[in-house]
Homo-oligomer: A and B are copies of this chain.
Amino acid sequence: MNKRKKATIHDIASKLGITASTVSRALNNHPRISDATKKLVTKAAKDINYQPNNIAAALRNGKSRLIGIIVPTVNRNFFSSVVRGIEEIANQLNYKVIISQSYENFEQEVQIVDTLLSARVDGIIMSISKNTENFEHLDRVKEKNIPLVLFDRITDSVEVNQVVIDDYMGAYKTVEHLIANGYKRIAHFTNPRKINIYSERMRGYIDALKAHGMEYDQNLVIESNMQLEDGQQCVKTMLDQGLEFDAIFSSSDYAAMGALQALKERGIAIPAQVGLAGFGNEPFTSFTTPSLTSVDQVSIPMGNVAAELFFELLKADPKKYVPQKTVLKPDLIIRESSTRTPSKPNSTPNSK
């Protein structure tokens, strides 16, 4: 009998000869309920294996205590770490998280937004897909006054809270480091889709070159989809075309990894002949030979900040709240792939 129907507060109530409202208040520790009945109620609840129905509460309250998270994929250290950072804060406040993956697919992303809105999440924290160029779905979220926070992959076409790292500075520091290690012709791998992160990194690359009196050569900027295979292919093409370069700064660790493999395959010594640096500090970067210099995106703190902004927004009056943009400082993690004996620049020909 109690197999099919789940226990409700009404069951508890009739068992104790009181009303459901009293049970509800008792369970919620309402001050106007005596300790005696509170004890009775909690005991009865345990006895009949009562499980609160959050659906009912959510319907009545208009809030579900759920945060929707949308990421391109969870199968990337960066994203899963941000999620963890969000969860840390959310769990403390007794909020739960629904994670959804867009798989870099725009239609999917739009669909997920609708699903989350229908699921009546209290808000959304997301990083947009690479292929998203239309932001009406985000507008719809804003129109409904649902709190929205963007991180890492952001857009300025919607006024919302944003958390990013200083991609510009990350790139700048990396290139500066390469220059300090004596590299003269630094190539740059980037993505043709000019979402914020890639364009910022490219700005940093260019400015760092200029700041050190090096010319910016368009031929050294190689566009691709930035996956492992792309990195391999780019290097091969560069070598086959006789392009002169002695370092690569890749906006993606995966492409950097591909570059590393291709260079090794062609017998080019890293870091002696060619220096290499990636972006993202994926865990495998410390496993490669040589280990890969990369930029750490402080993912957990980013998740923390995103969640904090979210809750700020949740409490605020949407009319007078002005969206904020938080910029975190990335860390350059220097490893073997870019470290040459301090002042032995020009040690490798190739460029000359």
A interface with B by C-beta (< 8 Å):
3-4, 6, 49, 51-56, 58-59, 64, 66, 73-75, 77, 80-81, 83-84, 87, 96-101, 114-115, 117-120, 140, 143-145, 257, 261, 264, 283-284, 287-289
Contacts and interface: CB of A to CB of B under 8 A. Distances in A.
A140 to B, nearest CB: 7
- Counting chain B CB atoms within 10 Å of each CB, the highest count among A75, A81, A257, A284 belongs to A75
Contacts of A59: 53, 55-56, 59
B145 A51 contact: no
A151 B180 CA distance: 51
Contacts of A288: 287-289
B80 A73 contact: yes
Nearest to A71: B74
Given A77-B75, A80-B74, A83-B74, A117 B51 contact: yes
Nearest to A83: B74
12 contacts: A49-B143, A51-B118, A56-B59, A74-B74, A74-B99, A75-B77, A80-B80, A87-B101, A96-B119, A98-B98, A287-B287, A287-B288
The 7 nearest A-B residue pairs measured at CB: A75-B80, A284-B284, A289-B289, A99-B99, A54-B118, A55-B120, A74-B74
A278 to B, nearest CB: 12
Contacts of A144: 6, 49, 51
Nearest to A96: B115
Contacts of A53: 59, 118, 120
A54 B87 CA distance: 24
A269 to B, nearest CB: 14
Given A56-B59, A77-B75, A140-B49, A101 B118 contact: no
Nearest to A97: B100
Contacts of A143: 49
- Counting chain B CB atoms within 10 Å of each CB, the highest count among A58, A145, A287 belongs to A287
A350 to B, nearest CB: 22
Nearest to A283: B284
Contacts of A56: 59
Contacts of A77: 75
A287 B118 contact: no
- Counting chain B CB atoms within 10 Å of each CB, the highest count among A118, A143, A145 belongs to A118
A75 B64 contact: no
Contact of A100 (B80, B96, B257): B96
Contact of A284 (B117, B261, B287): B287
Contacts of A49: 140, 143-144
A94 to B, nearest CB: 9
A226 B53 CA distance: 40
A14 B61 CA distance: 24
